[in-house]
Each structure stands twice: as structure tokens, then as C-alpha cells.
Chains A and B, each alone.
Chain A
Amino acid sequence: MNKALEFSKKHGIAIITIVIFILLAITTEGFFTERNLRNIIDQQSTILIAASFMTIVIISGNFDISVSAIFVVSPLFTLFVENATGNLFLGVLAGISIGLCMGAFNAIVVTYFKVNSFIATLATSFMFFGLGYLISDRSLMRPAGEAYQQIARTKIFDITSAAWLSLIIVIIASILLTRTRFGRNVFATGGNQEAARLAGINVARVQATAFILLGGAAALAGIVSSSRSISAQPSDDFSFVFAVLTAVIVGGTSIAGGKGAIWRTVAAAFFLAFMSNGFNLNQVDPLWQRIILGLVIVIAVAIDSWSQRRNV
């Protein structure tokens, strides 16, 4: 009995996800079909790519709002280079590189100038968004060649390359976090920064690395997303980062840092995806969808914080 309780506490989010999956599979026609599930996996790929590394940044004790801006700017720069050179590979390389650079810029502001990461990345968001307008000359950009759309749309074993990419990124991020020295240092830094420092860990380097990697991941997510729509457009749209943060936080990764896991984020991303898919299939009014979604997030987070609370 005690063990079962312990288990459900630890794996709460996974259990809820499986429960909602089974519920929808039983009750909702069209949910448990190959096509629908493949679609869900494909749709979640961009969020998963960014959220895996967002999890690492949050565990290290920071926050990154600028993921949205990097998500918008990177594909613009990719297409800019691709249009100019005609070389797709060069374009993608440039797009990822600018993401890494923007991550590095965040890292410098946060770890060197010690600006609170929430404020810092909110400020850099505006800079990056502005950069997007600059690169694109305020207009929609399209790829010159046909190959661009293949980045996200190539099918391997009937599953899109976007989904495969996200799987690879999730695995890489998980290995980094759980099996390497870097991962341990991330947990230590977020858990108790002063103690980590006194144990000889270069705390600034750990946090900076996390930011840079997230910049790269957000850039990849942006490229995948624009490859899917075969275009890119400058905007001031913050919605991507909220979707990413929702997945990380509903997964139960502590905003205070030092605690969390990538599998939790993945489970939460699917939990949210199943739910909104279930709404659509059941033709719930989008107005109600929002209200229920918000409520479910509150309940999920409340249950999680209750179950992780110490037994007092």
C-alpha cells in the first residue's frame, strides 16, 4: 500500500497521461487511430525539442523566455542564407548557429552581469524579435529550393522526420541530464548554488552551457516548424515559449530549480496534446477548451505539488 502510494507520487504525471490516453481511446471515436496518433506525435515535435533543453535550464535554476524569439528568428536566418547561397545545409548551419549565439548572449547577461534570468530573457526577446524583422525586411520568407520542406516532412517508417528529430533530441537531453557530469552539475547548481560552488563546480559555466544548448534547440525547433509550413515570418509572438513552459511545469519540474526530469516534460507534453486532441474530436467549443485547459493545468500542478510535498 505504502509502496503503491510512493510509486504514484513519483510517477504521477505519467500515470495521468496514461489514464487520459486510455479514457480517450475508449470513449472517443477517431482518437486511437494510427493517423491521429501519428499526427499528435508530429505536432508535438517542436515543443518537445525546445522543452527538453528548457527542462535543463529550469533545473539549473534559471528561466528562458527568449525561446519564442529564437524560434522565430532562426528559420528567418536559415532562409536568408539559403536564399543567398542556394545551399540548404549552410542555411541550417547558420540558423542553428544564430540560435546558439542568442543562447550565449542570454548566458552572458545572466551569468556574467547577474541579471535575473526572467527579466534578462524577456529583454533579449525584444532584441531578437527585432533582429527577425531586420533579417526578413519585415516580410514573409520562402525557401528557394524544394529541399527545405523535407527537413520536417520526410517519412521514415511512416513517421515524420520532425518526430524522429524530436526523439533524438529528447534522448540526447536525457542522457546529458542523467548520465553525465554536466547533468549532475546542473542538478547541484539548481539545488544549492552556493554549495555547488564550494564543491568546486564552475556554476556560471554550467548555467551558461544550459542556455546555449537551449538556444540551439529552440533554433532547431523553429526550423522544423517553418519547414513544415514552407515559410517563415517575423513576429512578436510569445505563444511558443508558453507552450514549452507549460509542458515543463505541468511535468513537475521545480521552478525553484534542482529537481525535475525530461521524461516528466515529455509525459506532460503528451498529456496536454491528448487533452486538446480529445477536445477537438469531441467538438468542444474552443472557448470552453481554454477554460478547461487552464483548470486542468491548475489541478495537475496542485496534485503534483501536493504529492511532492514532504510528509508533515
Chain B
Amino acid sequence: MEKRNNNVKAFISFDKVSKSFGATNALINCSVDFELGKIHSLVGENGAGKSTLGKLILGIYKLDSGAISIDGIPASFSSPTEAVKLGLVGISQELSLLPDRTVIDNIAMGRETTFGPFVSSNKTKEQVLKVMDKYDLHVDPEKIVGMLSVADQQKVEILRALNTNARLIVFDEPTARLAGHQVEQLHSLVRSLAKSGKAVIYISHYLEEILAISDTITLLRNGQKVRTESASNETRDSLIEGMTGRDVGSLFPEISKIDPTKEVLLKVNKLCRNNEFQDISFEIKKGEILGIAGLVGSGRSELALTIYGDRLPDSGSIEFCGNKVGLKGISDSVKLGMAIVPESRRDQGLMLERSLLENTSLPYLKRFASWFYGINKSQERKEVIDSCVETMVKHGGIEKEVQFLSGGNQQKVLFARAAMGKPKLLIADEPTRGVDIGSKQVIYELISQLSKVGEAVLLISSEVEEIIGIAHRTLVMSKGKVVAELSGSELKKSTIMEAAFKQ
């Protein structure tokens, strides 16, 4: 066993670790050290290996070769249970809580204080409260977890990790589902965890976040380590360059001006839906990209789904190309020329275990189907391939299941699907969430192309930069109401955020 030079005490070190899935090398000869009391970020595009590294630490994957040592002692563990015993815990993007149980039950899960075979609920509660006090992190202990906000649910998950005496906590895209001010709260919490001596591994796509929070940054590209640097030596540009291996000019494409004389495509008038949004009125012209900003839970997605015909409004009207929408449901909206890229590609967008072909052509099968002959597969294949080329989906064959594609490419499949309909209006809800920079660029390019050929885009996003970068005009929503309409020079981060937080 080689001796480490011990001026810095690495808590856990990876030595020439490799991991592959079938033919893809997810991680190649990677050596990284993680220290206690430090926030160490992993940065890279989708498929660069950051999540793989995280999952190796948590015992979810087994390594193919190389060695892991903890406190200088070689460690081998091959299941999450063993990893938890060693003090290695993860907070994942998709929360893993029991939604029907209380906060206490969730935090204490598997570590309840027992009296013989019985759980002592008082002692268990005491212990949970002690942990809450120790880290000054409070959630109402009797509440049912499913009723909590995403941010609070995340706190519950962190408390659970702390309750197991975790020494290292892996945060994998923890802010993907959080709104702006919640992100701040999470960050200060992460910092205080590090201060109390935990090792923190932080994985995120948001470079600003990474730069703001990290002590150390490790850059990964195509499964290989590019470098490990102190965060103070990195900038946004240096990170992008390191991640992509090339100089990335501006992320956003040129957006063509809209012609004010163009006809109105969508007209929303005094739209209300109980508890979701009230009194929403706006218009979109052909070729216009209308951004909708606002916090998660401000009613943006509900509004989008109502316009798409998924649910009926309580009052008000939606007029699309001169037709009333919403009375006959989604299939009618699709026929009229709407398409959607929904908020969550896993839950609302894709059939992960079905092929790229089936996923792409799904809403438009009628075009290839006749009563007698069934589906004309060759015609379908041709159009799907064309659409995938157009939207730059990188794939290993359209018969392959979409679960094997990277997140960015899965998202592009949704654009390919929309493109097959040649829609007049595209509703894109968080189109770049959890997507690497390369794919982001492609998606922005696609949206700007749509606008150029006269299609309208309703762009809903939590990323203010994105809205500023490509929207012609922006509505800011807060608590179900439109609180501001901004365009041109008013489109600034500060004005949007100010409006979004207005009560």
C-alpha cells in the first residue's frame, strides 16, 4: 500500500479508480482526495463522470479497478448500507423520503431508539430534536413529509443524514428543484455543515453556485479528471473551458427582432384557476419568445398546462389561432398546433423504457397510421430520424431505449418530438433543467430557430439568465398573479428577482 504524503489529511481518497458500464467508460483512472471540513465540488458536462463518482462513494456502484481508502485505511464497501455505516451519505436530486410518514419517522428511519422490540417514540423524538438543535435546522417534527415544500423535504433528508452521524455528505444537484431564496438557505446550511467538520461533495450544473460555495473544485471531462483546483483560482470561463475542452463564446444565440405588425397567435384573457393563478391576461405574437419567470410554485407550470388544454380554467378564456382552447383536451390542442416540453422529463415527458422512435412519434402517430395497414414504419422512421437530426439528438440508434441517453439528449428528444408536429406554439417548461452546457446551447439555438421561422415560444424558467438571454418579453409571476411585464432594457436580473419576490 502506497504511503500518502500526509500534510493534508484526506478523509477519503480515490486512487486510480475506473468504472465502466458496458462499452462506455464512465470513469477512467481517477484519483481524487476529499477532506473533512471542506466543500469539494465536482464539475463537468453530463456524462463526464461526476454522478458516477458520487455513486461510487455512496456504495451504489462498485468500482472496476483502483482503490478507495478512508482515513488512510483501504476500504471496500459495495452497498449503500455499508457506506452509511462508514459515515458516507448522499442527498440526491430525486428525494428518497416516505411521503406519507411524519418528519420524525423519516429522519429516524432505521435508527429509531428502541426498547426491546418496541420503538420508543418519545426517545426517538428527543433524539431527532437534539439533532435539529445541534445543527440549528428545524422542521415541524409532526408534519407529514408529503405536505412539506421541496425545500423542507430536502432539509428532512439532510437531517436524516446528520442523524446517522454522517462524516461525508454528497449533494447531487440539490438545487435543481429549489427557488432562488431557498438556494441561498441551502448554501448557508452546506457551509455550516462543512464548518462543523463534515466533508461535503457538491455536484451541480450551476457554475455560479459552484464558484460561490466551494473550497475545492475538481473538473471532469469524459470520465477523466482534468484538474483539481482551489475554487479561488477558477472563474466561470475557466470552468466552461475546462469542461467542454473548448472556448465557449456566448451561451445564447442571436435572437431576431419580432415584427410588431405580426398577428396575435395566442390570446389569454382573465384566466383564473382556484388556488393556482388568478386573472392572467396576455398575448403572444407569431415568432415571439415570451418568458415567464417567477419562483417555483408561483403558478407558472399550472398556467402552462391550462393553456395546453390539460385542465379547464375556472373562468376566463384562451384563444389560439382564433379557436377556443381547453374544451376538448390535449389532443385537440396538439391538433391545433401546440406542443409542450414538460417540466419534468422523467415524470411527464418520456417513457424511459421505450425506444427513441416510439417516444418521438407518439403524439403524431395518426400521420403514419391507417386502419387497414397499421403504422407505416418506414415513413415513421424517416420522419423521426429527420427530426432527431434537426434537434441534434445524439443517439446510438432510434430503436434504443431512451433511458440510455444522457440527460441533455433526453431533453433534446422532447424537442425532437415537438418538432415533428411543426407546432405554431411551443410551451417549454424548464427546458434546460439538469442539462449540460453543450446541450443547453443546442436548446437555446433551437428555440431561436423556432422564433425565426415564425413559431411562438412560451418559455418558463427559473434560470433568470436564460430568460434574459433569449426571451423577447417576460412576464413575472408571483403567487399566481402576473406582477410585472418586462421587455428590452428592463429585462435585468435585478428587476426580475425584485418582481418575483414582491408580495
Complex partner residue of B369 from A181, A197, A198, A258, CB under 8 angstroms: A181
Answer whether A258 and B362 are a contact pair too, CB < 8 Å, given A194-B348, A197-B310, A200-B331: no
B residues near A, CB below 8 A? 21-22, 60-61, 308, 310, 329-331, 333-334, 340, 342, 347-354, 358, 362-363, 365-366, 369, 374-375, 403, 417
Complex partner residue of B331 from A202, A259, A311, CB under 8 angstroms: A202
A192 on interface, CB distance cutoff 8 Å:
yes
A199 on interface, CB distance cutoff 8 Å:
yes
Q: How far is the CB of A73 from chain B (nearest CB, A)?
A: 32
Q: How far is the CB of A203 from chain B (nearest CB, A)?
A: 10
Answer whether A198 and B330 are a contact pair too, CB < 8 Å, given A180-B369, A184-B362, A187-B358: yes
Report the bound CA distance from A201 to B351 in whole Å. Answer: 13
A312 on interface, CB distance cutoff 8 Å:
yes
Residue of B whose beta carbon sits closest to that of A192: B351
Report the bound CA distance from A187 to B351 in whole Å. Answer: 9
A25 on interface, CB distance cutoff 8 Å:
no
Answer whether A184 and B349 are a contact pair too, CB < 8 Å, given A191-B354, A198-B310, A198-B330: no
Q: Which residues on the B side are within 8 Å of A179 (C-beta)?
A: 374-375
Q: Which residues on the A side are within 8 Å of B22 (C-beta)?
A: 311
Q: How far is the CB of A4 from chain B (nearest CB, A)?
A: 15
The 6 A-B residue pairs with the shortest CB-CB distance, nearest first, are A191-B351, A179-B374, A200-B334, A200-B331, A181-B369, A199-B363
A residues near B, CB below 8 A? 175, 179-181, 184-185, 187-188, 191-192, 194-202, 258-259, 310-312
Report the bound CA distance from A148 to B314 in whole Å. Answer: 58
Q: How far is the CB of A309 from chain B (nearest CB, A)?
A: 12
Query: A311–B351 contact, CB under 8 A?
Result: no
Answer whether A198 and B348 are a contact pair too, CB < 8 Å, given A175-B374, A181-B369, A184-B365: yes
Q: Which residues on the A side are within 8 Å of B366 (C-beta)?
A: 181
Answer whether A181 and B365 are a contact pair too, CB < 8 Å, given A198-B310, A198-B330: yes
Complex partner residue of B351 from A181, A258, A312, CB under 8 angstroms: A258
Report the bound CA distance from A200 to B349 in whole Å. Answer: 12
Report the bound CA distance from A310 to B21 in whole Å. Answer: 10
Query: B351–A195 contact, CB under 8 A?
Result: yes
Query: A259–B353 contact, CB under 8 A?
Result: yes
Report the bound CA distance from A4 to B251 in whole Å. Answer: 44
Query: B351–A188 contact, CB under 8 A?
Result: yes
Query: B349–A311 contact, CB under 8 A?
Result: no
Residue of A whose beta carbon sits closest to that of B365: A181
Complex partner residue of B348 from A180, A181, A195, CB under 8 angstroms: A195
Query: A258–B354 contact, CB under 8 A?
Result: yes
Report the bound CA distance from A185 to B331 in whole Å. Answer: 13
Q: Which residues on the B side are within 8 Å of A198 (C-beta)?
A: 308, 310, 330, 340, 342, 348-349
Report the bound CA distance from A104 to B118 in whole Å. Answer: 48
If A310-B403, A312-B60 are given as contacts, then 9 extra A-B residue pairs at C-beta distance below 8 Å, sorted by A number, are A188-B351, A191-B354, A192-B347, A192-B348, A194-B348, A200-B363, A258-B351, A258-B353, A311-B22
Q: How far is the CB of A181 from chain B (nearest CB, A)?
A: 4
Query: B334–A311 contact, CB under 8 A?
Result: no
Report the bound CA distance from A259 to B354 in whole Å. Answer: 8
Query: B352–A200 contact, CB under 8 A?
Result: no
Q: Which residues on the B side are within 8 Å of A201 (C-beta)?
A: 331, 362-363
Q: Which residues on the B side are within 8 Å of A175 (C-beta)?
A: 374
Report the bound CA distance from A281 to B76 in whole Å. Answer: 52
Complex partner residue of B349 from A180, A185, A195, A202, CB under 8 angstroms: A195
Query: B362–A196 contact, CB under 8 A?
Result: yes
Q: How far is the CB of A8 from chain B (nearest CB, A)?
A: 16
Q: Which residues on the A side are within 8 Å of B334 (C-beta)?
A: 199-200
A–B complex contacts, Cβ < 8 Å, 6 sampled = A179-B375, A181-B374, A187-B358, A188-B362, A192-B350, A197-B330
Q: How far is the CB of B62 from chain A (nearest CB, A)?
A: 8
Residue of A whose beta carbon sits closest to that of B349: A195
Q: Which residues on the B side are within 8 Å of A184 (C-beta)?
A: 358, 362, 365, 375
Query: A191–B369 contact, CB under 8 A?
Result: no
Report the bound CA distance from A201 to B331 in whole Å. Answer: 7
Q: Quick one: which of B61, B329, B375, B403 has the most chain A CB within 10 A? A: B375
Residue of B whose beta carbon sits closest to that of A189: B351
Residue of A whose beta carbon sits closest to that of B331: A200
Q: Which residues on the A side are within 8 Å of B375 (C-beta)?
A: 179-181, 184
Q: Which residues on the A side are within 8 Å of B403 (C-beta)?
A: 310
Report the bound CA distance from A312 to B358 in whole Å. Answer: 25
Report the bound CA distance from A181 to B363 in whole Å. Answer: 10
Query: B374–A180 contact, CB under 8 A?
Result: yes
Answer whether A195 and B347 are a contact pair too, CB < 8 Å, given A181-B375, A188-B358: yes
Q: How far is the CB of B362 from chain A (nearest CB, A)?
A: 5
Q: Quick one: which of A180, A196, A200 has the most chain B CB within 10 A? A: A200
Q: How far is the CB of A56 from chain B (nearest CB, A)?
A: 15
Report the bound CA distance from A259 to B401 in whole Å. Answer: 11
Q: How far is the CB of A135 from chain B (nearest CB, A)?
A: 36
Report the bound CA distance from A179 to B374 in whole Å. Answer: 5
Q: How far is the CB of B457 from chain A (nearest CB, A)?
A: 17
Q: Which residues on the B side are within 8 Å of A200 (C-beta)?
A: 329-331, 333-334, 363
Report the bound CA distance from A201 to B417 in whole Å. Answer: 14
Report the bound CA distance from A188 to B349 in whole Å. Answer: 11
Q: How far is the CB of B301 from chain A (nearest CB, A)?
A: 12
Residue of A whose beta carbon sits closest to that of B308: A198
Q: Which residues on the A side are within 8 Å of B340 (C-beta)?
A: 198
Q: How far is the CB of A173 from chain B (nearest CB, A)?
A: 13
Answer whether A187 and B363 are a contact pair too, CB < 8 Å, given A179-B374, A198-B342: no
